[in-house]
Amino acid sequence: MTPAGILAIDSKWHGTDLTNTVLRTDIAAATRSARIANLILRSVRVHDLQVQPLVVLWGRAKDDLQQESRVIDGVEVVGGLELRDWLARNSSGTLTSQRAEEVLSELRNFKARVNPSRPTIPDRHPAKGRHNRW
């Protein structure tokens, strides 16, 4: 979560050149992940937020982007080394720290109900996270 909203970050490493087919496959996977995350948000009655997909490319593929980032089919694609700068440029928005905590609490409760055998991620305030800019 960022002040700009919720991201479904799909990190991909490719040891070969980035082809259109590979890129489309990565975008489709990120879109599916965001769609599933949005369905989970709706199941916990969070209707004011949308999860946005973000593809982060590593390896040789990141060099084939030819620019810091680009949008393809509504999905932002970023080279791995540019991720931190991209997050900084896209860090303004209306999602407050308090609202983020509420959503995280709802998601933890959801996870405890649907999969109680796996431990949940420890409670951490978003402002204390390494990459958060709240």
Written as six digits, the tokens of 102 are 């509420």
**Rounded to 5°, angle at Cα 41 from 29 and 23:** 15
Q: How far is CA 110 from CA 8, 14, 33, 114, 119, in A?
A: 18, 34, 17, 6, 12
**Could you tell me the residue range of the domain that residue 42 belongs to?**
6-128
Residue 49 domain-assigned? yes
Residue 1 domain-assigned? no
Distance from C-alpha of 113 to C-alpha of 133, rounded to nearest angstrom: 31
Residue 12 domain-assigned? yes
| Total domain count, the chain | 1
* pTM as predicted: 0.78
* Structure confidence by residue, pLDDT tens digits, 20-75: 899 999 999 999 999 999 999 999 998 889 999 999 999 877 666 766 678 889 99
The kind and range of the H/E element at 32 are helix 20-43
Residue 133 domain-assigned? no
* Structure confidence by residue, pLDDT tens digits, 74-133: 999 999 989 999 999 988 888 899 999 999 999 999 988 888 776 666 655 555 554 444
